[in-house]
Amino acid sequence: MRTSRVLDAIDKARWSRGTRLDGLRCHSDAGSPFMSVRYGERLAEIGAVPSIGSVGDSFDNALAETVNGYYKAD
C-alpha cells in the first residue's frame, strides 16, 4: 500500500465528516504508509491522534487471537 492511498482515505473521511476531527484516534499497524511523516502531518491537520500497535505481538491480529484463545482455555 502506498502512503498516497492512506492519505486519500483520510481526506475522504475529512470531506464527509468535516474539516476537523478532534479526538479521533487512528489505530494502525506499523506499516510504512502509517509511519510516514506525511501521514502524521495529515492527522495533525485534522486534529486526530495516531495510535500504532506494538511490533511482534499478535494482539491486533484476529486469527492469532483466536488461536491464542484456544491455548488459554482450560
Domains of the chain by range and CATH?
Answer: 3-72 (3.30.420.10)
Record the pTM: 0.58
**Residue at grid coordinates 502524521:** 40
Can you list the alpha helix ranges (DSSP code H) found in the chain? 3-17, 32-35, 37-46, 62-72
pLDDT in tens, 14-69: 888 877 778 778 777 666 666 778 888 888 888 888 877 666 665 556 666 777 77
Q: Look at residue 19 in the predicted model and tell me its pLDDT.
A: 76
Q: Look at residue 46 in the predicted model and tell me its pLDDT.
A: 87
CA distance 20 to 43: 10
